[in-house]
Chain A
Amino acid sequence: MADKLKLYGKEFDSRLLVGTALYPSPAIMRESVAASGSEIITLSLRRQSPEQQQGKMIWDYIQESGCQLLPNTAGCKTPKEVIALAEMSREIFGTDWLKLEVIGDDYNLQPDPFGLIEAARELVQRGFKVLPYCTDDLVVCRKLLDVGCEVLMPWGSPIGTGRGLMNKYNLQTLRERLPDTPLIIDAGIGAPSQASEAMEMGFDAVLLNTAIAKAQNPVLMAESFKLAVQSGRAARNAGLMLKRQTASPSTPTLDMPFWQQSITAENGEKA
């Protein structure tokens, strides 16, 4: 299979990235991530006292997962906070990869485009491989590329809403105007059909968390998302038919039997 996802010089078979938060238990998280087939997982850093055990739990998982780690800067609101957290992440997790989040609004967790560009510029200069969580604004995306981001992660809809692809026109525009940039739909995906749709539209991958973690059966949902992303990617590669305004028969009409009767019926004549 030559259809690899290429990000910052690394190749991946899976086009589904998953978060590690909100699961009912660490065991279900591990099982779900495995079922998703994901090769890139997100995690984070928080203040902890030495007695708190979450650090050890996630650390043990990191050691055995074999996944590319993608630490995030969730909750940061300024470039200064981002830089400090990014450097701490790089030291602990031993990776330059960073899911850059600069939140501009507490209510819908919308990325702050100005802080995002400023932080991305500084992080790239410090050697980070930045994957910014951004809005679907073409101009903001171009600026992020200008400062050295090689991958962009536009939102489908606000984090945790499950509303899917909120603004398909903007997303389609991004895809068409940035044909060579790896684009990952991050956030807002609630159902496998939405992930599949993103892949059919030509996005390179999908990143999600809540839709799996908060499912009644997270492991089964992880499997479902894996299949949906694979299906959507295959459909994109296969080439979707063009939409048409009028019906067009799929069964051949040539040599149809009884054709004389139907013509006379249409004309209202008696046989």
Chain B
Amino acid sequence: MQLLVNGEPKNFDSAQSLSEVLQQLGYRGDTFAVAVNGDFVPRATYEQTALNPGDSLDIVAPVVGG
């Protein structure tokens, strides 16, 4: 299954939940947030969120800003 992660195509073994994908990508802790196909996904629903081939993930973290 191919997903677009922060704009880059990445391959995953099979259909997986968002929480599994994030774990495989190495995201730990709670200093990031996620949108799937442009829509915010609350942290509490990562495990129930199924991903489909071609889905686009945006994973963001704090940066400096003005």
Contacts and interface: CB of A to CB of B under 8 A. Distances in A.
A72 B60 CA distance: 13
B40 A84 contact: yes
A80 B37 CA distance: 11
A262 interface: no
A97 to B, nearest CB: 13
B12 interface: no
Contacts of B63: 21, 43-46, 48, 54-55, 58
A92 B64 contact: no
Interface string A247-258: 000000000000
Contact of A88 (B26, B28, B35): B35
Nearest to A72: B65
Interface string B2-14: 0000110000000
Interface residues of A, number: 40
Given A87-B33, A93-B62, 6 more contacts: A23-B64, A43-B64, A45-B33, A48-B59, A54-B63, A89-B33
Interface of A: 19-23, 29, 42-52, 54-56, 58-59, 62, 71-72, 74, 80-81, 83-85, 87-89, 91-93, 159, 209-210
B64 to A, nearest CB: 4
Interface in B10-66: 25-28, 30-35, 38-40, 42-43, 58-66
A43 B62 contact: yes
Contacts of B61: 45-46, 48, 52, 54-55, 59, 92
A59 B60 CA distance: 13
A81 B61 CA distance: 16
